[in-house]
Structure 1
Amino acid sequence: MVLLWLRAPLAPVIFGSSCLLAILYRLSPAAFLSTIGQTLTDPATIELEIVLLLIMFLEYLLGKHGYLDRMLASLRNLLHNRRLLLAVLPALIGLMPSQGGALFSAPLVAQAAAGTPLTAEEKSFVNYFYRHIWEYCLPLYPSLLITARVCAIPLAKLIQALVPYALLVALLGIPVLRRIPVVRERGSTDYFQLTREVLLNLSPVLAVVLMVLALQVKMWAAVGLIVAVLLIRHRYTPSKALQLCREAVQVKTLILVLGIMFFKQIILATRAVDGLAYLLEMLAIPEFVIFGMFGFLVGLITGTVSYSMGIIFPVVVAAAGGQIDMPLVVFVFVAGFTGAMFTPMHLCLTLTVDFFKADLRKVLKMLILPEAALLTVAAALYAVFN
């Protein structure tokens, strides 16, 4: 975090931090090489790289053949409000619970924000912040399933308790959206035709969402199928497809993601997170604050909400004597979520900042107030209902 704050390049920092962590925990050379091998052969890493590669192809095809321009023109006339449009686009893509999905919505946000006074950092904030609105209430996200199962509480009750936070997220992003002048764009009032145009040009993206959500198709298979259909529809020859690869693929992004997955493997190999709970227990502060700090730090280190909850709640439940009430569950969940939102280990943040060529420090500063508000509300409600 310090090196990134000093504007050091992200990929070398992550790889260097992985090596430093291995040295600090005295990981043997054999174990270190084994961790590299596990990273390269881990099915989750391979699948993620394939998904991101296919998303790059899909993004390029949608832009090259005018799908995004036509969809945004129709949606702009349909919604009449550019602020609402910018919030809806990443939220729509956020229905897909996939790592790095912010790369999917980033070009949509970029197109919709064209001609507005939003900076690269503000565009990054909108894309990143509104993409995660559903993780508080959509049962397709593993974080909710893991939390409900470990804490032995009904999933429906957990979602009911977390829904207000999803609504709060929608409100907390408004100050950035208000930077956009309200301009009522006059156009066709044929809402049926406009809706048809939006759905038609958004159909490749909607098809992916529906396959993932309704049919439980793997993300890579869903995106791959749509890319194949588009290549056939636009009559790509093998030579044109090869040219597409050269123009669409961003090798730097793929290496960056590989570095993040390597860092996570190093964390597992060194068991670095395990000591946090014992360290925090030594502090003379209230128990719920310790749990919140533990959740925040685990989220900050891992950068993955679902992975964080799988580490946090087994420890918290055990420390609480095997039973944990809903206010504490919500507070710890929000604390872990907040930590995961503040770290470049979070793929969505890294990919978004990289896409918009934004200053990571400025984006993190913009996240402080809304995330602090979420955490404050969760802590206040815990104090009231506990």
Structure 2
Amino acid sequence: MMLMIKMFVIVLILVILTRRKINLGLALMLDAAVMGFMFNMGLKETLLSILKGVFSFQTFELAGILVSILFLENIMRKKLFLEKILTSLQNLVGDYRAVAAMIPPFIGLLPSAGGALFSAPLVQEAIGDNELSPERKAFINYWFRHVWEYMFPLYPGVILASRIIDIDLVLYVKAMIPFTLAAILIGIPISFYRTPKGMNRNPNTESKVYHLKNLLFGISPILFIIFMFFVLKIHPFIGIGITILALTLLYRYTLEDYKELFIKAFSFKTLFLVLGVMVFKNMLVDSGVIEQLPAFLTQADVPVLLMFFLLPFTVGVLTGISTAYVAVTFPILAGLLPEINLSYMAFAYVSGFAGVMVTPIHLCMVFSANYYKAKLGSLMVRVMIPQFVLIAFAFILTVR
């Protein structure tokens, strides 16, 4: 019970700090320090854990990916790739609401951390001067950016889950497809309930084929990165770097162009947020929280099906990353079953991903809220409702 009280206090401190307008990166670092002391780590161990979080390979990797996304977005915007995506969808689809909902999934085909930062400007342009609240805009960008993460085999969480439970990836993907479809269907009414219908105000007289070609050209850098990952087995960070280099060479960037690119795309605020998230996650491991939580729930004699919800959901909330709740909880949950039950594991995955989606340490949520100047607490509540509908849907499929 003491473990749950401590975790409640840690979450409460984070909520208080963010509500007082303290930078989230700094708030996470301060909360991580409090966590270290609460779990008896001592000053030296706490400082070492913070430093390890700051200087870990994963931190540099994540920071590199996020900065490279900003660089790529800047190039694609300057060279009109993003404009072609938007214009093509506006002419192929028409209604700004459908266009706004379709852009994040296009960007979401590339599973990179903080990808919602990439789609946010496009969603804003698609909505234009139509009167949607900041929270609704943030929800559209955040929610539809992640609809693939249940089943798209490019996402590490999907691959890791299938490996841990020793299920063929194709079978696992097929089992998870209903949740992607459900996420799309649930997201539509929440995003656009009582929003005014509006068509593209500046329709182009070119043919549908012309706009389809333009759309393919617009997303070609993303398709190239996906091709490198699937076919050439190149890490997304390296793939993004190769794409940036290819584009700058293709458009003959000068030293002055590179300087302008760096000034416009580089963000210390983004990097500081990454540091805060990684320090907090590292402290969860070093303090023993991630190890103690499963043991606590097991000793408390929690019903098996409830464990399939509580374990992944809690770890998802604490870490904000799919691979974390899969890696930590799936081996434990699989051991609770006499044989692997794909419905149970799907329920666990959906529960864990719900935790990832509602936590304030999920980078995409923070980026979406910051970009649209939305209230983080209001966005979290808006996301919680459809996530628990998805959990209920997964539960029904499990017990039927």
Q: In the alignment, residue 258 of structure 1 is paired with which amino acid?
A: L
Specify the alignment match of 1:147 in structure 2: 161
Q: In 2 relative to 1, CA 58–338 (structure 1 residues): closer, same or farther, beyond 3 Å?
A: same
The reply to whether residue 67 of structure 1 matches residue 84 of structure 2 is no
Q: Deviations over 1:138-185 (max 9, x none)?
A: 122222222222223333332222111110001011121345433344
Per-residue deviation, 1:26: 1.6
Amino acid of the structure 2 residue aligned with 1:229: A
Residue 4 of structure 1 corresponds to 15
Note closer, same or farther for the CA distance 1:70–1:328 as it changes in structure 2 (3 Å cut). closer
Question: Residues 195, 268 of structure 1: CA spacing in aligned structure 2 closer, same or farther, 3 A cutoff?
Answer: same
- How many Å separate the matches in 1 of 2:222 and 2:130? 24
* Deviation of the 1:321 alpha carbon: 5.2
CA spacing shift, 1:212–1:112, aligned 2, 3 Å: farther
User: Which secondary structure state, in structure 2, belongs to the residue aligned with residue 273 of structure 1?
Assistant: helix
CA spacing shift, 1:222–1:150, aligned 2, 3 Å = closer
Establish whether residue 223 from structure 1 lines up as the match of residue 234 from structure 2.
no
Residue 327 in structure 1 maps to residue 343 in structure 2? yes
Q: Which runs of at least 4 in structure 1 moved beyond 6 Å after TM superposition? A: none
Aligned match for 1:198, one of 212, 215, 218? 215
Tell me which residue corresponds to 1:36.
Answer: 50
Structure 2: which amino acid aligns with 1:188?
T
Which residue among 121, 130, 135 is the counterpart of 1:116?
A: 130
Give a deviation string over 1:46-103, Cα, whole Å, max 9, x none. Answer: 1211111121122223333433234312220012232222222111121222222222
- Could you give the per-residue CA deviations for residues 243-281 of structure 1, whole angstroms, max 9, x where no partner exists? 332222121111101110111111111121222223323
Distance 1:64 1:144, change over 3 A: closer
Residues 208 and 326 of structure 1, relative CA distance in 2, 3 Å threshold: closer
Matches for 1:167-316 after TM superposition, within 5 Å: 167-175=181-189, 176-185=191-200, 186-188=203-205, 190-283=207-300, 286-316=303-333
Instruction: Give 1:129 shift.
Output: 1.0
**Percent identical across equivalent pairs?**
31
* Contact 2:315–2:324 (Cα < 8 Å) also in 1: no
Aligned-pair CA distance for 1:135: 1.5
- 1:108–1:179 distance in 2 versus 1, CA, 3 Å: farther
2:36 to 5, 22, 29: 22
Superposition map of 1:54-93 within 5 A: 54-93=68-107
Distance 2:217 2:298 in 1: 56
Is 1:379 the counterpart of 2:390? The answer is no
Determine which of 87, 97, 117 is the counterpart of 1:103: 117
Q: Could you tell me whether the CA contact under 8 Å between 1:296 and 1:338 is conserved in 2?
A: yes
- Partner of 1:247, secondary structure, is helix
- C-alpha distance 141-345 of structure 1, shift in aligned 2 (>3 A): same
Are the equivalent residues in 2 in contact too, given 1:83–1:178 (CA < 8 A)? no
Taking the aligned partners of 1:111 and 1:202, their CA distance within structure 2 comes to 17
**Structure-1 separation of matches of 2:109 and 2:326:** 20
Native 8 Å contact 1:296 1:340 kept in 2: yes
**Residue 105 of structure 2 contacts residue 148 of structure 2 at CA under 8 Å; is this kept in 1?**
yes
In structure 2, how many angstroms separate the alpha carbons of the residues matched to 1:332 and 1:108? 33
Do the aligned residues in 2 keep the contact of 1:59 with 1:107 (CA within 8 Å)?
no
Report the secondary structure of 2:121's partner residue: helix
8 Å Cα contact 2:114-2:367 kept in structure 1: yes
State the shift of 1:24 in Å.
1.1
By how many angstroms is 1:289 displaced?
1.1
AA partner of residue 228 (structure 1): L
Distance (Å, rounded) in 2 between the aligned partners of 1:198 and 1:285: 51
SS of the equivalent of 1:220 reads helix
- The separation in 1 between residues aligned to 2:337 and 2:385, in whole angstroms, is 34
For 1:346, the aligned partner's letter is: H
* Unmatched runs of 5 consecutive residues or more in structure 1: none
One-letter amino acid matched to 1:4 = V
For the Cα contact (< 8 Å) 1:82–1:180, is it kept in 2? no
Aligned amino acid, residue 201 of structure 1: G
Aligned residue pairs, count: 383
For structure 2, which runs of at least 5 residues remain unmatched after alignment? 1-10
Instruction: Say if 2:313 and 2:354, in contact at 8 Å, map to a contact too.
Output: yes
Match for residue 128 of structure 1? 142
Q: TM-score, normalised by structure 1?
A: 0.91
Segment of structure 1 superposing worse, 11-20 or 71-80? 71-80
Tell me by how many angstroms 1:345 deviates: 1.9
> Is this contact kept in 2: 1:141–1:306, CA < 8 A?
no
Tell me the TM-score normalized by structure 2. 0.88
Q: Which moved more, 1:152-161 or 1:47-56?
A: 152-161
Alpha-carbon distance between aligned partners in 1 of 2:61 and 2:344, rounded to the nearest angstrom: 35
Q: Compared with structure 1, are the counterparts of its residues 325 and 67 closer, same or farther at alpha carbon in structure 2 (3 Å cutoff)? A: closer
